[in-house]
Amino acid sequence: MAKPIIKEKARTLRKKGLSIGEVSVKLNQPKSTVSYWCKNISLTKKQIQDIERRHKSNSIAILLSVSEKQRQSRIQREKEIEDIAREKLGSLSDRDIFILGLGLYWGEGYKYEHSEFGFTNSDPEMILSYLVWLERVFKVKKDAIICRVSINSLHKHRLSRVEKYWQDLIGISTRQFSKPSIINSKPKKIFQHNDTYFGTLRVKVRKGFELRHQVLASLEVIKEQLGKCTSSAI
């Protein structure tokens, strides 16, 4: 049987307006026991409101604590995955960069007959990766690059800012930009903040016909080898 002194403490705390759960925690007693001791104690309306306010505040604090623990756990998982990826990948060799660039060109490069050695994309990191490929694999210098911006007509008033964005990103002069392409159609993607829209950038290499043939020939070899892999897998 519980000691009378603990029971009296429980009743005193309850009369002061503490909830059954709060009394249980303070005295380290089961909630069922505290509830039995205090069953005939009535709380005022204000005491009940105070309990509800504290419970709400505690609930929010618990939710925030759980949310923060989940966030930290997610960050830790992402870091572990990134570490695994770094370990598997190692350092990029010249061959790795060559193959990566071929993949970029296969997806977004100009491949139709008699076309230029050009590449178009809206992703700044992809544009920068493509330029690294041109320089590392084909020794293309930046002064051999010609760029053209394409933007929707709704953003025509931002043209100078858009061009400066790409100029600063890849480090070329305004003289290396040809006349922009203004698209007169309803945009498929709506940007909540217009400042995040910079259209697409075409990157062309001056006198790049021979390089284009080399790239397309390499892609044909890759297609041939992938075809053999597919056949052997069936």
Pick the closest to residue 1 from 36, 40, 39 (CA basis).
36
First and final C-alpha spacing in the chain: 77
Task: At 185, give phi and psi (nearest 5°).
Answer: -150, 160
- Dig out the tokens for 92 from the structure: 């990029």
Domain boundaries, the chain: 4-63, 94-233
Residue with tokens 């598997």: 88
pLDDT, one tens digit for every residue, the chain (234 residues): 457 888 899 999 989 888 888 888 889 888 889 888 888 888 888 888 888 888 888 887 777 777 778 888 888 999 999 999 999 999 999 999 999 999 999 999 998 867 789 999 999 999 999 999 999 999 999 999 999 999 988 888 888 999 999 999 999 988 999 999 998 877 666 655 567 789 999 999 998 889 999 999 999 999 988 888 866 555
For residue 33, with 0-12 CB atoms within 10 Å meaning exposed, 13-18 middle and 19 or more buried, which class applies? middle
Structural contact between residues 210 and 185, judged by C-beta atoms closer than 8 angstroms: no
